[in-house]
Structure 1
Amino acid sequence: MPQRTSLESNFPAAMLSGVGTKESWRKEVHRPATSTHKWWAKRLGTVFRGIITSATTPDGADAVGAYGSPLDLAGAIVLDPFSGSGVTGVEALKLGAKAVCFDINPVATLVQRQAVQPWDLGSLEAAYKEVESSCRAEVDRLHRTEDGRTVLYYFWVATLGCPECSEEVRLFDSPVFSKNAYPKRVPKAQIVCPECLSVKESRYDFVTEKCARGHVITQRGAVRGQFATCGNGHSFKVLGALNGSPPAYEMYAKMVADSDGSKSYEAITAWDRELYDECVVALAGLSQSAVLPRGRLAPGNNTDQALKWNFREWRDFFNARQLVSLSLIATAIRDLAGSAPEREALCALFSGTLEFNNLFTSFKGEGTGAVRHMFSHHILKPERTPLEAHPWGTPQSSGAFSTLFKSRLRRAHEYKTKPVDLVDRGAGIERISGVSQPVGASIADSWESFVSIEGQAAYVATRNSAQTDIPDGSVDLVVTDPPYMDNVHYAELADFFHAWLQHMHPYIGYSDATTTRRVGEVQHADPVEFGKAIEAVWTESARVLKPGGLLAFTFHQARISGWVQLVESLHRSGWIVMAVQPVKGEMTTSVVKAGAREPSNLDSVVVCRRAVDGATNPNSSVEEALATATRELTDLRDAQVDVGAGDVRSVVRGALLAYLASTGVDLDESVAAQVDSLASKSIEKLLGAGPG
């Protein structure tokens, strides 16, 4: 490791922000190895490649050139203690290093394993076909019309009884249930009569229509916000009318694949209802050995959102046909012989399919991917008008097992075999092969077995990174993205997948616990608890790092208390912050970021060295630290990178608090207030507007 690196001085933030922006819009295309399954806050591979290449490039050298060059870091070991989807591990392996990927959540470990290990394409295709021959015919039979056509999607609506008169109320907020993603360009829409559930074609902006039975249809449904109104005019709060159970659901329409390749919308018939009733009977008759989701939701920041709607067990998230169909697929995968990586990949693929096949999904409309997956808002939000998709699917389907096999597994295999990187050569951003090594690591489950592997290796394990089996001074570089101090709790959300996976046994050693929640999780909404947990990981990282090594991680925090706890935890565990580098963040359109009072686009790359190695903060005063942060933000703004008020505030907070901590100043409320005052002035100076 160089004595001073480009990561600490001439970090190519503007270039990385440009290529990162392109990646952020289609991560599944540009970094498919880490996109085989849902994980939250998945980082940009381009940025993490840039962090690793800059951390191994001397100060003053060509960091931009290093990013786009085929570096060979053979012999180096890169640790990620919060590995998530495995972005750091993949980028390290592509650059010739060995990777250590730890995460406390077993679902994250499953995602990482798919990202770094090789598959034999022939074996993968054969396993897929074996599953298909075992279950597809029955799944198809459960998703068909009376005349044998395939039903792509069933449309449902939640229903409640009016607390005052007991009249059943269908919880539509609008009768328009399908419209184009660009309705002004393509105004055609499908509407449903809330009274008789007949379906007809209209416009998205219709004023009034009459259904086939003569009922007048207007744009207004029964629901407005948290309240619903019955046909007798009684208004009531939806949650208050649940009476201890989840809402009931009623089918009202279906989208059918016609023989000529077109799609049509049709009303639900008595035959459709009888077919669904058959699924209810079939579910009750499934054998005890069939794979089904098991377990109850425990209270939590995210699970409380579902619990208040009385979704108490994970199986409540699915209707009877979904449970039967998904169980058929899951059981067929579980029963594949052996424990090969290809079987494991299909387990992960099935788990990823669940995101699009449950009662928390909705219809996005025509002209786009049809299914809005359940985590589109990073929360467990019940849908009043859920969409039921064909889980095996056809080429016309969205979010189905068969379509995701092609778009996720095949694409990931192609990428790992021949990686393609986004590189800016000066004339524009290009997709270039040949600057990265293929990814196909042998996976170890202990340090001892890891170091004995010749060639490409990854130590991938589910564990608390505050306690590892890595010997002192064994790792060259620690690169990570720690959880934020916020209310999006990954383990609570991951339990949705784990409820199925624990019975599929994706690989030897996969957790059979009833939940993925663990003691020692860093993610916490309470600042003090967050600080304590992350300090333990920083302390362990300092122990296992070689003398002169670096710790670098991305961070963004809207609350100053999060920055205070982060900086103090670093200081207590023996780290000195050498730089806070702003760079393009995960996703500009993130609900959390875009919807914030001060919208943001950037993350901070926090670069640290150990105090025991003689490191000192490079700034000599608050003024110098502020000037450094301002210069870096100005450079990005001048390079046409979007810089928001939240970005300025976050970067300035990090830089100033890091400097003050290095001088021994107690980061109390008065100091935090002074830092925030300087951040507000920086916002006004850089963006020409005051905060808020």
Structure 2
Amino acid sequence: MNIIEKDFPFELIDQIAERESYRKEINRPIYHIHKWWAKRLGSVFRAITIGANESNYNGFYKKFEPSNKIILDPFMGSGTTLGESVKLGYKAIGCDINPVSSYMVKQGLTWATKEELDKEFKKLEKDVSAKLKSYYKTEIPKESTKADVLYYFWVKVVTTPDGENIPLFKNYIFSKNAYPKRKPESKVVCPNCGEVFTCLYNSANEVCPSCKNKFDPQVGNVKGSLVLDSQGKSHKILNLVNQNTNPPDHKLYAILAVNKDGEKVYLKPSKFDFDLYKTACEDFEREKDNLIIPDQIVREGYNTNQARRFNYSRWSDFFNKRQLLGLGILYRRILEIPDQRIKEQFITLFSSTLEFNNLFCSFKGEGTGAVRHMFSNHILNPEKTPLENNIWGTSKSSGSFSKLYKSKLLKAKEYLETPFEIKLTKKDGKIISEKVVCSRKLRLSQAENFAELSEKDFLILNGNSSQLPIPDNSIDSIITDPPYFDFVHYSELSDFFYSWLRKGLSSNYNYFNKKDSSDKGEVQDRDADSFSYKIEQIFKEGFRVLKASGLLCFSFHHSNYKGWLSIYSALYNSNFEIVAAHPIKAEMGVATPKTASGNPINIDAILVCKKNEAPNCKGSEEIIKTAFSKTNNYIKRFEKIEREISKGDKFVILCSQILVECSTNNIPPEEAKLFLEKAIDNFTY
């Protein structure tokens, strides 16, 4: 019996996971080489992988010898299971139906030295950086040389039926510190003349030093879905937008640049700045036929309809012409890199840069990473005051190509060289962390098919995991994080990257030859029955390829018992028995059930399943009684380590324990529903 069937040391792992979650991109950079929407904590999945394959957890900081055990993840996502498995010396197979996932996981695990990458980066820098940066210059009064622009501040503009152009300002303070009480100075734009000046972050009464206009900087002309014109008449923003078929126009209203002393300065745009943008637009029109620009349509979907309502009909609409010009020039040069392996590393970096360089980005403020990327909301909500980044960037930039090269690409490759774990120790009453290297160098080899895996380290597949090119009874354990039936449909969002990637990768990867990144076999579905059926097919395939003694382990949480029932039905119909469920820290808090309104869910349940054996025969009252007892025991264990858990967290623990008891007693899904409802109604939160 593997140890995870009996227990999981969440008291230890929870603390490590908490520390990891503060800076996931630093502590597990191979999973953050590119955007993905559900990245699980590496320390948690390391512990799950050990627990599903070993007899104890003593090896968490142990260097494992290479093993022939094979770990499968049928919902690969960002590749956490693969990374943790190969670090432990196991062989790994990952499959995902989304092309962006399959591609980026391969790139995260691909070995490339700093010397190789630096050599190519310097060539790119020599060939294109000056050209790109020439479009991000400004004039600073009393300075003879042109200054580098960090960011341009834009505002959407709508036109009333009377012909009045109205900028969509929620308020007029556009820059303040992340900790405004400590550093109260902020930047404000005058709604009358556009002057940029300094005020306090909470000021409600300002006089423009230029035009003497008196105004409250906290109150803009946008009130929810409405905007006020100069006469005080309100208009529905969407109605004004839909007078045309194109996305709204934008007006440049402020600039953040770096002066000759290296200091950041805010400026009101001048004729120079407007002329430079005009030049960029003219250059784009002249060059566009020679640039690689996405032409893919934004398809309808829950996560995309908000953008479509604002007339963003193609993914190229998400960028202004200067951005399309700069990105097109950069992408064209990257595709000239002769070494395919290195070229793909830079294509990945380019794709990652897109997230921070588009019209759906906004300004986070001073004292933090300045650029709020476009996926801060899962729906693509058009930004009323977007931020235009300097694509190549400077030493003071955030989210630029040159900065992400160091913070994402190089960090990921350094981690392959020295993969480490976080170890916590107590010193003088304080918890301190250190990095412990307990894995071999990950100079990994990729198999092209299952047969090659005997001599290789990992295999990446793209396609429907209900039909895997894997022999029967060949997998030692399945460790995964399945999607949830009513959550984000990743392909609707990943199309943003796919529309660019397919332009440079379709000749090398068949899965980039589709019109978009969607697939009819996607498990995510807002209909619970459809979700349950599709995930059931994948569990059945898992049952086929899993060895008789193997375990299926996956993390799960849901704020609605229907989500739990869907996963239970799929397991029941696949002949899997849930033998244990353990709570552990989730990546982030989510919405909560009615019974725990206002209390976020901060934990996952790890469901441990094996091929069905002879069921127990407990009575109905005993099933609920046992589940209550296990739930309360876990709550006490959390209390003992002084970890606060919400009502939503208790809901997760309770549902998972009800599923264990129902499963081990072979309760059909229709009866399990009654047990869930009764338990939820009668448990004391």
With normalisation by structure 2, the TM-score equals 0.94
Moved more, 421-430 or 558-567: 421-430
Displacement of 1:369 in angstroms is 0.6
CA distance in 2, matches of 1:348, 1:615: 49
Letter of the 1:23 counterpart: E
1:485-524 correspondence runs (5 A): 485-505=485-505, 508-509=508-509, 511-524=512-525
For 1:50, the equivalent position in structure 2 comes to: 47
1:435 to 434, 438, 443: 438
- 1:217-262 Cα deviation digits (max 9, x unpaired): 3121100111110111110111121124321110011001111110
Choose 256-265 or 124-133, whichever is displaced more: 124-133
Superposed, 1:436-475 pairs within 5 Å as 436-453=439-456, 457-475=457-475
Distance in 1, matches of 2:19 and 2:396, equals 27
1:453-478 CA-partner distances (Å, limit 9, x unpaired): 3xxx1101211111111001111111
1:184 is paired with a residue of what secondary structure?
coil
Any residues of structure 2 matched to 1:609-624 within 5 Å, and which? 609-611=610-612, 614=613, 616=615, 621-622=622-623, 623-624=625-626
Q: 2:71 aligned with 1:91, yes or no?
A: no
1:137 aligned onto 2:130:
yes
The residue that corresponds to 2:13 in the other structure is 16
TM-superposed deviation, 1:370 = 0.4
Give the drift of 1:325.
0.6
Partners in 1 of 2:591 and 2:357 — Cα distance? Answer: 22
- Which of 93, 98, 113 matches 1:120? 113
Contact kept? 1:422, 1:429, Cα under 8 Å = no
Where do residues 248-267 of structure 1 align in structure 2 (5 Å cutoff)? 248-267=249-268
Partner of 1:221: 220
Deviations 1:484-510, CA, capped at 9 Å, x for gaps: 122311111100011111112188215
> Is the 2:592–2:599 contact (alpha carbons within 8 Å) kept by the matching residues of 1?
no
CA contact (8 A) 1:104 1:464 kept: yes
- In structure 2, what is the Cα distance between the partners aligned to 1:263 and 1:380? 30
Greater alpha carbon shift after TM alignment, 577-586 vs 123-132? 123-132
* 2:582 alignment partner, SS class: strand
Q: Is the alpha carbon distance of 1:615 and 1:288 closer, same or farther for their aligned partners in structure 2, counting shifts above 3 Å? A: farther
Paired residue for 1:652? 654
Alignment root-mean-square deviation, CA: 2.1
CA contact (8 A) 1:527 1:561 kept: yes
Match of 2:198 in 1: 201
CA separation in 2, counterparts of 1:392 and 1:411? Answer: 19
Q: Which stretch of structure 1 is more off in the superposition, 40-49 or 234-243? A: 234-243
CA distance in 2, matches of 1:619, 1:160: 66
**Taking structure 1 as reference, are residues 615 and 237 closer, same or farther at Cα in structure 2, changes over 3 Å only?**
farther
Partner of 2:505, secondary structure, is: coil
Paired residue for 1:628? 630
Cα distance in structure 2, aligned partners of 1:222 and 1:90: 49
Cα distance in 2 for residues equivalent to 1:633 and 1:495: 41
Secondary structure of the 2:149 match is: strand
CA drift of 1:286 comes to 2.0
Counterpart residue type for residue 647 of structure 1: D
Q: Cα gap change, 1:556/1:617 in structure 2, threshold over 3 Å: closer, same or farther?
A: farther
Match of 2:331 in 1: 330
**One-letter code aligned to 2:539:** W
Deviation digits for residues 648-686 of structure 1 (CA, Å, limit 9, x no counterpart): 112211221343245443433x853552342354352xx
Give the Cα separation in 2 of the matches to 1:318 and 1:554: 37
Q: 1:106 to 1:338 in 2, by over 3 A?
A: same
Question: Match of 1:690?
Answer: none
- Residue 60 of structure 2 is aligned to residue 67 of structure 1: yes
| C-alpha separation in 2, matches of 1:671 and 1:593 | 18
CA distance in 1, matches of 2:572, 2:332: 50
| Equivalent position of 1:528 in the other structure | 529
Is 1:546 paired with 2:547? yes
CA deviation profile, 1:518-557 (whole Å, cap 9, x unmatched): 1111111111111111111111111111120001000111
1:52-82: CA deviations, max 9, x gaps? 1112232xx4x2x222222335111111111
Contact preservation (8 Å) 1:19, 1:429: no
Residue 401 (structure 1) shift: 0.6
Counterpart in the other structure of 1:688 = none
2: CA distance, partners of 1:596 / 1:181: 29
Identity, % of aligned positions? 35
Counterpart residue type for residue 632 of structure 1: Y
Q: 1:408 to 1:389 in 2, by over 3 A?
A: same
String of CA shifts for 1:67-100, please: whole Å, max 9, x gaps. 2222335111111111111111110011001111
The aligned amino acid for 1:377 is N
Partner of 1:319: 320
Q: Distance in 1 between matches of 2:669 and 2:548?
A: 28
Deviation at 1:637, TM superposition (A): 3.0
Q: Structure 1 residues 657, 55: closer, same or farther in 2, change over 3 A?
A: closer
**Cα separation, 1, equivalents of 2:116 and 2:415:** 17
Q: How does 1:388-399 map to 2 (within 5 A)?
A: 388-399=388-399
Shift of 1:114: 2.3
Instruction: Sort the Cα spacing of 1:319 and 1:105 in 2 relative to 1 into closer, same or farther, 3 A.
Output: same
Counterparts of 1:245 and 1:508, CA distance in 2: 34
| DSSP-derived class of the 1:285 partner | helix
SS in 1 for 2:608: strand
TM-score by length of structure 1 reads 0.93
Distance in 2 between residues matched to 1:482 and 1:438, nearest whole Å: 29
* 2:454 partner amino acid: V
Letter in 2 for 1:672: K
Aligned to 1:351: 351
1:650 match: secondary structure: helix
Structure 1 residues 397 and 619 mapped into 2: Cα distance closer, same or farther (>3 Å)? farther
Give the superposition deviation at 1:301: 1.0
Distance 1:227 1:592 in 2: 30
Q: Which one of 183, 188, 201 corresponds to residue 185 of structure 2?
A: 188
Q: Deviations over 1:312-334 (max 9, x none)?
A: 10011001111101111111111
2:614, 2:387 → 1: CA distance?
A: 56
Q: Which amino acid aligns with 2:225?
A: Q
Counterpart of 2:119 in structure 1: which amino acid? A
Structure 1's unaligned 5+ residue stretches are 685-692
Q: Distance in 1 between matches of 2:602 and 2:615?
A: 29
Q: Distance in 1 between the 2:654 and 2:146 partners?
A: 63
Partners in 2 of 1:73 and 1:120 — Cα distance?
Answer: 23
- Code of the residue aligned with 2:83 in structure 1: it is V
Q: What per-residue deviation string (whole Å, max 9, x for no partner) do you get for residues 161-192 of structure 1?
A: 124x3311110011100011111111101100
Letter in 2 for 1:156: W
- Asked if the contact 1:334–1:505 (Cα under 8 Å) also holds between the matched residues in 2, the reply is no
CA shift, 1:434, in A, is: 3.1
- Distance, in Å, in 2 between the alignment partners of 1:681 and 1:573 is 30
Q: How do 1:216-295 residues align onto structure 2 when only pairs under 5 Å count?
A: 216-219=214-217, 220-242=219-241, 243=243, 244-295=245-296
Contact 2:592–2:601 (Cα < 8 Å) also in 1: no
Aligned residue in 1 for 2:142: none
CA contact (8 A) 2:91 2:453 kept: no
Deviation at 1:110, TM superposition (A): 2.0
The 2-side partners of 1:619 and 1:476 are apart by 31
Q: 1:683 to 1:193 in 2, by over 3 A?
A: farther
